[in-house]
Amino acid sequence: MSFRFDGRTNFIAGRWGDDPSGTQHDAVSPIDGATIGTMAWSTRAAAREAIAAARQAQPGWGRTSLWDRARVLRGIADAIRGRQAALADLLTREQGKPIAEARFEVGKAADGFDLAADLVKYLEGRTIPAEDTSKRVLTFYRPRGVYGVVTPWNFPVNIPVEYLAPGLAAGNAIVWTPAPTTALIGAALVQVMADADLPPGVLNFVTGPGPEVGDEIVSHDGVDGVGFTGSAATGKRIAQRAAGKAQLLELGGNGPVIILDDADLDKAATATAAGCFVNAGQVCSSSERVLVHEAVYDAFAERMTAAAGTIVIGDPRDEATTMGPLNNPEVAAKVNAHVDDAVGRGARAVAGGSRLAALGTDLYFAPTVLTGVGRDALINTEETFGPVAPLIRVASDDEAIAAARDNRYGLVSSVFTRDIDRAFRFIEAVPTGIVNVNDTSNYWELHIPFGGVSGKDSGVGRIGGRYSLEAMSDLKTATFTVDV
């Protein structure tokens, strides 16, 4: 099956429609600039309608047994797998990632619904001892109510599921708005979910500009909790607008990946290249800055340059392609600016370094390796979100730790070493929510807690498995007085 949209991309109270007070907006493929559909370009009125529908539907969904909710989620997982090919095709055309990566992402989205269906049945509370001998105390989980979800364009199928699956499993109703550049694949996912007998109003979907639709959803008094994945700057605005609500925010990252002088360089280069070039580097856990011990710097740079040369960049619908275009002009401009800034400060592009305009649009950026990158370069201090490996020289473990800590992000890092003692030193010293040892910074599984650390700009809370379920639920305490 395929998906076709005529501008009726809002899904509210179980019905498809547009916004009578809004307009329509073309969806344009980054592959070749072709228009692949139209979406509703909605106003705040549509967002308010969706919130009202969610508030009406949530009490009934919240009273539904965990087993029945789990059965619905399993039905959604099966429906996604049944339409995996069509979903992956649309995902590639709208987002730009290679078709193999698109199939993988859709498969993981189905797994996410199965995981939530499994885990919600074991979301147990506790009995708690009390000092007063006449008291019995127990805790249990309840839905928060209506959850507003705002998601990005880099993984527009799987990232939404990281909120939708646990949020629905926990008994919440959802109002979701996607990034406009990948709204059609979001609508296709909603269509699959709706066909799997999700009760009307439990899931609502509104397309339109973030400053209007997204802002209404996160700030509205009818929304009890907010889930967001995206940039640190947008996350800060959402946190302010959603003040007083439960918040689960997964924001930006900037590594680092640390290559010590005893690392297996072949393994480190293979893993780091994957972290730099998968999804054209448009991953919050990408290997966006690479700190390399000076004793192995040149040898590692040679291996990274060779790895960049193996990337097949082109039309992502071709099975042979391993990297497609960047998703949108804004991210392409940022990648350009960061590379130009680094080179202007003395770095050298030993691979790539520019766009490849002859491939269909100006969004194709060559897999790039930069040597001689200074710690003052934007590519070291900011999130680039592109297929660039900036190699920064360090002289010691202490200098590597200092460079790792000298950054406003704190999401994911990697360290490559054969020494377990050194590995644990970095695990404890590097301020990131995850430290992967001898593997790509992109390594993660759906049930593992994922998120930033306090004092950094990488978010609040943890997504992943049970941690998402707990974050999207209220923990309620009940006390009893007994005559014993």
Is the domain of 305 the same as that of 379?
Answer: yes
| Sign of the alpha-carbon dihedral angle for 98, 100, 105, 109 | positive
Helix (H, G, I), strand (E, B) or coil at 30: coil
Checking DSSP bridges between strand 225-229 and strand 246-250, what pairing results, if any?
A: parallel
Is the domain of 367 the same as that of 414?
Answer: yes
Bridge partners of 259?
A: 292, 416
Is the domain of 420 the same as that of 304?
Answer: yes
Q: What are the distances in angstroms from CA 195 to CA 33, 262, 310?
A: 31, 54, 42
Catalytic residue among 101, 216, 284, 383: 284
State the DSSP string of 60-110. HHHHS-HHHHHHHHHHHHHHHHHTHHHHHHHHHHHH---HHHHHHHHHHHH
CATH number at residue 91: 3.40.605.10
pLDDT of residue 3: 85
Residue 40 CA to residue 5 CA, distance in Å, equals 10
Task: Specify the number of domains making up the chain.
Answer: 2
Is 456 domain-assigned? no
Q: Which stretch of DSSP H or E encloses residue 194? A: helix 183-194
Question: Sheet of 135-143: strands edge to edge?
Answer: 127-128, 135-143, 473-481
Is 95 domain-assigned? yes
Q: Verify whether residue 276 is a known catalytic residue.
A: no
Is the domain of 145 the same as that of 15?
Answer: yes
Burial 92-105 (b: 16+ CB within 10 A, else e): bbbbbbbbebbbeb
Is the domain of 152 the same as that of 267?
Answer: no
Residue 445 CA to residue 302 CA, distance in Å, equals 31
Is 454 domain-assigned? no
Q: Which residues of the chain have pLDDT under 70?
A: 1
> Is the peptide bond prior to 325 cis by the omega test (within 30 degrees of 0)?
no
pLDDT digits (tens, 9 = 90+) for 373-404: 999 999 999 999 999 999 999 999 999 999 99
Helix (H, G, I), strand (E, B) or coil at 351: strand
Q: Select from 378, 283, 272, 304 the least CA-distant residue to 335.
A: 378
Q: Which residues contact 90 (CB under 8 A, 6 or more apart)?
A: 2, 3, 36, 184, 185, 188
pLDDT of residue 449: 97
Q: Verify whether residue 284 is a known catalytic residue.
A: yes
CATH number at residue 361: 3.40.309.10
Is the domain of 50 the same as that of 191?
Answer: yes
Q: Select from 271, 280, 285, 461 the least CA-distant residue to 388.
A: 280
Is 380 domain-assigned? yes
Token couple for 43: 């106003």
Is 213 domain-assigned? yes
Is 230 domain-assigned? yes
Is the domain of 247 the same as that of 262?
Answer: no
Is 452 domain-assigned? no
Q: Residue 117 belongs to what domain range? A: 10-251+461-476
Is the domain of 50 the same as that of 124?
Answer: yes
pLDDT of residue 5: 83
Is the domain of 42 the same as that of 169?
Answer: yes
Is 451 domain-assigned? no
Amino acid at the residue 50: A
Is the domain of 20 the same as that of 157?
Answer: yes
Token couple for 27: 């969806």
Catalytic residue among 49, 101, 212, 250: 250
Is the domain of 244 the same as that of 288?
Answer: no
Is the domain of 116 the same as that of 20?
Answer: yes
